[in-house]
Amino acid sequence: MKKIILDLDTGIDDALAIAYVLGSPDAELVGITGTYGNVLLEQGVRNSLALTELLGHPEVPVFAGLPHAMGRDGFAVSESTALIHGANGIGNVVIPDAERPVQDQPAVDFIIEAAHRYGDELAYVPTGAPTNLAAALRRDPSLKDRLHVVLMGGALTVPGNVNAWTEANIDQDPEAANEVFRSGVDATMVGLDVTHQTVLTRRALDEWRQIDTPAARAYVAMVGHYIGAYEKNAPYLGGCGLHDPLAAAVAIDPTLVGCLPINMKVECEGPTRGRTIGDERLINVAPKTTRVALTVDAPRFLREFMQRVGAALATAR
């Protein structure tokens, strides 16, 4: 049973990652930590609380993380992101507020405590700006030898989705991402190289229309909105990229992807700021602490995805 912490900027594919983990018999969602990106921190935390209750899991604790990059004094959602995920992050679908509050403990403290408590049983899965993780590594450098990270972010062999070289999560805080890679923490990078190979089509989405729960109706509406955005922005994909659920799936079952071991860095200066690339200074240095996912068993992942998210939606209230 893998223990999972999801670190989310809870937009639509983050919501799918929650459902994926909750629908997985071989995983336990021990907590959600909030970050920013698709939405402001507060909205993401609100969505995580509300979605876990909609899915019938009020026991999952939700922690608020840092609201913006360390080197900036604020954060605003970009116009294009607000169109992709909707103004409320979940495709403008209205779901009830949660009854329970956010935890008092700050997210960074929870991450550090969980890393010490669970050790190798735990996978920490950032799928938004990696600011919380960089802060945790700074606060407790011993995390580098005890935390296993599976992050959604970056692009090594394909163009970015913000510009030709930058992926959205890394773009929010390139310095934090660079600190994470260069810290030597054990990391698997699940970037656009593989997440654009795992696409949900409108036809597949129709399967969930047969499930008669409020959660299923909300998810069908949300994901319909998300696919609509992809039809405008990246019609060649034929559906929406399953970024965050793929990272969650790899955290539970690493055999879904084939990886290149490499020491990575993020360029923080100049026109290619935000580019994820091999670190030329560490190219011949062992150990190679990051594995970049370059191949994916897309049919197997999509089968698991439909089954696990479908199970979470069907057992929800």
Q: Applying CB under 5 A, which residues contact Ca ion? A: 9, 14, 127-128, 244
- Contact residue for ligand RIB among 11, 34, 61, 65 (CB under 6 A): 11
- Our CB check for ligand RIB shows the closer of 95 and 168 to be 168
Q: Is 245 one of the binding residues for ligand RIB (CB under 6 A)?
A: no
Nearer residue to ligand RIB within complex by CB, 13 or 304: 13
Which of 86/128 has CB closer to ligand RIB?
A: 128
**Displacement of CA 27 from its chain's centroid (Å):** 16
**Is 85 an active-site residue?**
no
Closer by beta carbon to ligand RIB, 38 or else 178? 38
Distances (CA, A) of 237 to 57, 167, 201: 33, 17, 9
Q: State yes or no: cis peptide before 287, omega within 30 of 0.
A: yes
CB 241, min distance to ligand RIB, A: 7
Kindly state whether residue 37 participates in binding ligand RIB, applying the rule CB under 6 A.
Answer: yes
Among 41, 123, 168, 211, binds ligand RIB (CB under 6 A): 168
Q: Does 13 bind ligand RIB (CB under 6 A)?
A: yes
> Which parts of 103-132 interact with ligand RIB (CB under 6 A)?
127-128
User: Catalytic residue numbers?
Assistant: 243
Q: Name the site residues for ligand RIB (rule: CB under 6 A).
A: 9, 11, 13-14, 37-38, 127-128, 152, 161, 167-169, 243-244
